[in-house]
Structure 1
């Protein structure tokens, strides 16, 4: 279990690092709305990853299936991006998906 906790921490740090780099690039290459949308999306991605990790950690105890509560996060992100004029849907969703390159990066580093 200690190895899993260390892996979780490394994944979170990698996700935060990838998100920070992407937001800085968006801030330089695009405008503040795109960068803020990317930031909001990446925060939602970190929350999703955290909820998923917590759900997976409970699998060994009494639970036999992964919870579905984390699926609410991307739905709320898309609804918020559609309703709020300060957010754009595509950069927010790309920001949400930034945890995936962090997973690949962590796999390459560990591999």
Structure 2
């Protein structure tokens, strides 16, 4: 099990570092708004990946019922969009194009 935890930590670390470096590249080629939209999506992806890893840990020890925590990631991103609209910030996300 120790090898699994090390692989999980490495996967999350590499994914986070790649996301940050790609954020820098996107910011360099495009505007800050587009780069922040990418970063929000990348952070949601990392959170979702960690939720999936947690479910893999629990395989065999629970029923086949899917948790509702996976939907919370997408609801949180959409809630962030509505909060930004309420305070007058940019609400143009990647799904608006």
Asked whether the two chains share a fold, i.e. TM above 0.5, the reply is yes
How far apart, in 1, do the equivalents of 2:42 and 2:82 lie? 16
Q: Which has the larger radius of gyration?
A: 2
Normalising to structure 1: TM-score of the pair? 0.66
1:48-96 deviation per Cα after TM superposition (whole angstroms, max 9, x unaligned): 11112112211233x13343421321243245336634343218xxxxx
Which runs of structure 2 are paired with 1:41-80 in the superposition (5 Å)?
41-61=41-61, 63-65=62-64, 66-80=66-80
Which of residues 81, 87, 93 is equivalent to 1:89? 93
How far apart, in 2, do the equivalents of 1:87 and 1:35 lie? 13
State the number of aligned residues. 90
How far apart, in 2, do the equivalents of 1:39 and 1:29 lie? 14
How far apart, in 2, do the equivalents of 1:53 and 1:33 lie? 30
- The alignment's C-alpha RMSD in Å is 2.1
Q: Is the 8 A contact 1:44 1:74 kept in 2?
A: yes
Q: Structure 1 stretches of 5 or more lacking a match?
A: 92-111
Normalising to structure 2: TM-score of the pair? 0.74
